Amino acid sequence: MQLRAYAKINWSLDTVGVREDGYHLLDMVMQSVSLHDTLYLEPAEGLSLRAEGPVRVPVSEDNLALRAARALQRHAGSAEGAEIRLRKRIPTGAGLGGGSSDAAAVLRGLNQLWGLHYSLDTLCDIGLSLGADIPYCLRGGLCRVRGIGESIELLDRARVYHLVILQPCRGLSTRQVFTALGAAEALRRPDTPGVIRALQESALGALPGVMGNTLQEVSVPLRPAIRQAITQLREHGARAAQMTGSGSAVFGVFSNAQAAHTAWESLNKKYRACYLARTLTEAEENCP
């Protein structure tokens, strides 16, 4: 079985509170993009993971894809196994949801391979116990995601948006970013309904005034290259640009495919991790 695990971007990310257990409550607009990892699943006696590709990841028990397989196995009380081969392209420590997307693909694939017939809601419950982005990655699309990742509202998509994604520096740990957030004072917050309206009306000109990521403001002092990369994207024609997730990747959205390709050709010479991408159609996401 072969599956694609798509990266995601945050059109907006707002922190709206903190639960008693310390988890931050979020309000985000997220969308799947064409940059992806590929996973190959084969029946086997035990569970194993191999990784290859331009991005290196550990294949220890800490790997989220392997943890997802073991969690599904425990939930089902199953002795089934699988060999998981991961071709990794999504950069790590980037805020692009690569690990979560790999885990989501494993849950979907093994659910089918092992004949478990679990509902999407059940898979999301299993995924949420491992990582906040996994339920979204299981569903994909353009969504408003709230809470700690468990509340997902699917939104209508009006068009495909063309992107350039950069990772200008080494990754940031989520814990490091949220610790800095706790010490921050005034933060610029996105207009989340305005972001949704602009995306659905294809109003690219409105995006800079409504987009935002509260984590970007506390991440930039830790990694100044993030701000520099955002500036580079704008100077190369991006209509809007910002950091995704907890960083350190940033993305720019362009008027059309040619404008994005022209910017990518130039920026690819300056940045080692530079990707030409676009948002996905519903038909693409429904294909393995």
Q: What is the 3-state secondary structure (H, E, C) of 108-176?
A: HHHHHHCCCCCCHHHHHHHHHCCCCCHHHHHHCCEEEEEECCCEEEECCCCCCCEEEEECCCCCCCHHH
Say whether 270 is catalytic: no
- What six digits make up the tokens of 214? 């509260």
Task: Select which of 102, 121, 133, 156 is catalytic.
Answer: 133
d(CA 269, CA 253): 19
8 is catalytic: yes
From 8, 14, 27, 102, the catalytic residue: 8
Please list the active-site residues. 8, 133
